[in-house]
Amino acid sequence: MATVLHLHELSKKYGSLQAVDRLTLQVEAGSIYGLLGPNGSGKTTTLGMVLDVIRPSGGSFLWFGRSISKETKQRVGALLETPNFYPYLTAKANLQVVADTKQADHRHINKMLDMVGLGTRSHTTYKGFSLGMKQRLALAAAMLNDPEVLVLDEPTNGLDPQGIAEVRDLITRIAAQGKTILLASHLLDEVEKVCTHVAVLQAGKLKANGPVGDILSTKDQLVISAEELAPVLQLLERLPYIVQFVQDKNYISLTLSEGYTSTDLNRDMFAQGIVLSQLLVRRKSLEAQFLELTQK
Amino acid sequence: MNLIRSELRKILQYPTFWVIMAIYVLLQVLLIYFSSNFMISGQSLGKSLYDFPNLWMRFSYIAYFFNLLLGILVIVLVTDEYSYRTLRQQVIDGRSRTEAVLAKFYVSLGLAAIGTVFLLVMGLLFGLIYSSDTSIGAIVGKIDYLSYFFVQAVGYMCLAMFFAFLIRKSGLAIIAFLAWSKIVEPIIHYQIDDRIDRFMPMKVFGSLTPTPGQDIIDGLTTPTMALSPAWAVLPALFYIGLLVLASILLVRLRDL
């Protein structure tokens, strides 16, 4: 698979604050790559650097294997922080200005306005738009010259539930067209619902990255109970793939190491003549996982 | 071309632009119309003010004061791009930083052209009505002052543009622009030798439209060392280039 974006030891320092610290990662074509981290973790700074508006203090990045240029920029549609438009211009006039900049075909403008559901509001000035409409206009602008890659920074930030649903629906529809999406978010469930890959950032450092399934949900928690807990506890001590276990009144919760499932545990218990009365796989809450990841 | 079309889209639909231009035109018409009542040495200037060919010199001197207004308009247009974050978006979308600055320089050229054409129309209007001599020779006699005014207007707007890119906030940039052109540099002029200060930017721009009747004043006091308009063009162009270059460097070196 082709690499769309390659970051190598990318860093940004603001005075004594290390906003982004030697970040290395790759975004493959066709993936929906989530940049996950709390506020102030360096997500926007990272996107700002690869979008050429913030100068890196160190490291490098390549778009499609090349350094950034007018040509690579035309293959990327981006929305950084807030939707940025002229408040006194209409939705359509704003997109005309964007089309001039991107040297995009002006005939696409109406199509894009329809796609984001603003077709009937194309002659309303931007300042009269709700936040959700502004965000959708920004998506229309980003999509204007049919880019291969879409970079979205907190696209649902500040929206009401309906707005969030609309924007997420748009993102999934765009992704279904086979585009690569790089999405920054502090919302775990957003990343989990929308993304295929994720990089977890904290204080500018990369904490973990890989496919969403690997990062956000491998170490499921098991809850077991049996008539007699004592032999179970004894066995758990000896089983090599138990990461940790805690007894809680009349049940035990435990974590397995990677590659093992509840089946393995059940088989070993049964082989030792222990019959479990309960075996429950409980997915760890995303918040708990996130805190675990960032507190490492 | 794309660059200019884009700027036109933004400006022509911007109410602030039309308001400032209306003020520019209105105030200038008023001043031109009523300046014939000014008294100099107990004598009204009268209709002789509108005599060709000196009319061009007088009118461009009047228009000189309104360059401040054009400068403020340029500051508003530039700082808007920062407050709306549209400069940032343009760079993300593929505009180079140099192009972003040049776009505003072209806007300045356009505004200077509008100001010059306006002055030409006003000159012809008042001159043909009131001038005692309306022969072609008299009309085109000192019409080159219009071109000096054009260079001067561009110079003022480039200074304004530089402060706008430097400071990025409209209020502060306007204060800096006014303070430099009307207070700080004039104070420096008093402190240093005339032979040197005549080459300073505001002095050079000012020399392009000399005070009418300067020759009379010079006869009474020591003559000024100011450059003649024709001689001031070259240093003025130099400062314009310098200001545009400095603006480009500023935008290229900083985060957006």
CB contact under 8 A, B256 and A85: no
Provide the pLDDT for residue B192: 87
CB contact under 8 A, B2 and A85: no
- ipTM (interface pTM): 0.89
Please say if the pLDDT value at position B227 is more than 90.
Answer: no
Amino acid at A262: S
DSSP states of A261-286: -HHHHHHHHHHTT--EEEEEEEPPPH
- Report how far Cα B91 is from the mean position of its chain's Cα atoms: 29
Higher pLDDT, A218 or A132: A132
Pairing state between β A32-36 and A180-185: parallel
Interval B11-69: pLDDT, tens: 999 999 999 999 999 999 999 888 776 655 556 666 778 888 888 998 999 999 999 99
For A126, nearest residue in chain B (alpha carbons): B84
Mean pLDDT of B80-90: 96
* Residue of B187, B200, B209 whose CA lies nearest to B238: B200
Provide the pLDDT for residue A219: 62
Provide the pLDDT for residue B219: 65
Provide the pLDDT for residue B40: 58
Q: What is the mean pLDDT of chain A?
A: 89
As a whole number of angstroms, the distance between CA B39 and CA B19 comes to: 32
Q: How many CB atoms lie within 10 A of CB A60?
A: 12
Per DSSP, A80 falls in state -
- A→B interface, C-beta within 8 Å: 48, 51-55, 70, 73-74, 78, 80-82, 84-89, 93, 96-98, 100-103
Provide the pLDDT for residue A227: 86
Q: Which two tokens stand for residue B223?
A: 């003559």
Provide the pLDDT for residue B34: 85
Residues of A in contact with B14 (CB under 8 A): 86, 88
B195 touches chain A (CB under 8 A): no
DSSP lists the bridge partners of residue A283 as: none
B256 touches chain A (CB under 8 A): yes
Provide the pLDDT for residue B87: 96
Mean pLDDT of B125-145: 88
Lowest mean pLDDT among A172-186, A203-217, B121-135: A203-217
DSSP states of A221-262: EEEEEES-HHHHHHHHHH-TTEEEEEEETTEEEEEEPTT--H
Q: Which domains does chain A have, with CATH numbers?
A: 3-214 (3.40.50.300), 218-294 (3.30.70.100)
CB contact under 8 A, B94 and A70: yes
Please say if the pLDDT value at position B165 is more than 80.
Answer: yes
**Tally of domains in chain B:** 1
**CB of B10 closer than 8 Å to CB of B90:** no
As a whole number of angstroms, the distance between CA A38 and CA B228 comes to: 64
Amino acid at A68: I
* Residue of A203, A202, A176, A198 whose CA lies nearest to A188: A198
Percent of chain A scored above 70 by pLDDT? 95
Mean pLDDT of A262-289: 82
Residue to test with chain A: of B81, B82, B92, B253, most A Cβ within 10 A = B92
Give the H or E element holding residue A194. helix A188-194
DSSP lists the bridge partners of residue A251 as: A248
Provide the pLDDT for residue A86: 97
Residue to test with chain B: of A76, A80, A95, A101, most B Cβ within 10 A = A101
Amino acid at B207: S
CA of A148 vs chain B CAs: smallest distance (Å): 14
Q: Quote the Cα angle for A181-A197-A135, to 5°.
A: 35
Interval A44-74: pLDDT, tens: 999 999 999 999 999 999 999 999 999 999 9
Residues of B in contact with A103 (CB under 8 A): 2, 94
Higher pLDDT, A128 or A241: A128
Residues of A in contact with B5 (CB under 8 A): 100
Q: Which of A87-101, A280-294, B135-149 has maximum average pLDDT?
A: A87-101
Q: Is the peptide bond before B53 cis (omega within 30 degrees of 0)?
A: yes
Q: Provide the pLDDT confidence category of residue A193 given band limits of 50, 70 and 90.
A: confident
- Report how far Cα B198 is from the mean position of its chain's Cα atoms: 18
B90 is in which domain, residue-wise? 2-253
Q: Which of A106-110, A270-274, A279-283 has maximum average pLDDT?
A: A106-110
Lowest mean pLDDT among A16-25, A277-286, B100-109: A277-286
Interval B138-157: pLDDT, tens: 888 889 999 999 999 999 99
Provide the terminal-to-terminal Cα distance of chain A, rounded to the nearest Å.
31
Q: Which two tokens stand for residue A262?
A: 């509840």
